[in-house]
Structure 1
Amino acid sequence: MTDPATDPAPGPATDVPQVVFACVRNGGRSVIARVLTEHYADGRVRALSAGTQPGEHVHPEVVVVLEELGLDTSRETPSLLTRDTVAASDLAVTLGCGEECPYVPGVRYVDWPVADPGGQDPATVRAIVADLDARVRRLVAELVPDREPPPSVLG
């Protein structure tokens, strides 16, 4: 039995939902989605990115496009997607890693079929960023329904 005088009141949890964006190399799609989520959620969603076979660095063409939009990529480093990372998350968004992504019961999974920006020309990378921008804005609106998202970085 709970005592209303000493137990926290029911209602919105202070927990911030955690989302992990997963792709193969963790150098493009997952990084774009993570950076956009952090930008739009303004601390109300924790976003991680990881890869099933992480590369050595974020794709330079992705860095150029995101920085042109005013988004900081200086702290982005590819990391390995682990079962523990997925298990600690409320949502796993897969971006091309398919069955290589570890499955953890109880975690909600969503697959976003988005092209790989690695090695692509700037116009193609911008189109991929635009696709992910729309998806991320919808996701943030779903996860934080009481927050009005800022205008799109795409202008």
Structure 2
Amino acid sequence: MIKRLPIPAIRLFLLLYPKMKKANSFHWPALGWGVIFLGLIILAIACGEQWRKTDRVTVLQEKFSPGGRYVATAFECAGGGAAGYFYSNVNVRRQEEPFNQRHFILGDKLWSGYGNFDLQWLGSNHLQVTYQGPKDPKWLKQNGSRKEQCCGVKITYVHR
């Protein structure tokens, strides 16, 4: 019989589960799922922005717009440890903004499969991105999205 729980978070947790009929009763199935749920929340909070520190980014090409207002960066990124990831993509941003490897213009996912980039500014706010990527229709349906505009820059694409 538990009269007082030492941690307020556990008390709150016990109040959230209707299977716990009385404050003094103790049901292992409900507590087991609750501990898993609480652990996942703590893990999500603890690992929230770790990728910013652990990603290894290699800049392949970086070009400033003719007026110097925008920057286009082709890059490779690797991280994630043993169950890691590796991807190549392009980032477009204003010159004063810091680079963020998770803001990219090709595809919706990190594992997009693009590469062999060539960046060329056609005007002060018009970027042409030449790239290589799979041509399989199934792959394109899942990963083939492209941003046509980003932070005031019109983007056109040439697939090799």
TM over 0.5: no
**What TM-score does the superposition give when structure 2 sets the normalisation length?**
0.27
Higher percent of residues as strand? 2
Report the TM-score, using the length of structure 1 for normalisation: 0.28
Q: Which has the higher contact order (CA 8 A, sep 6+)?
A: 1
Structure with higher Rg: it is: 2
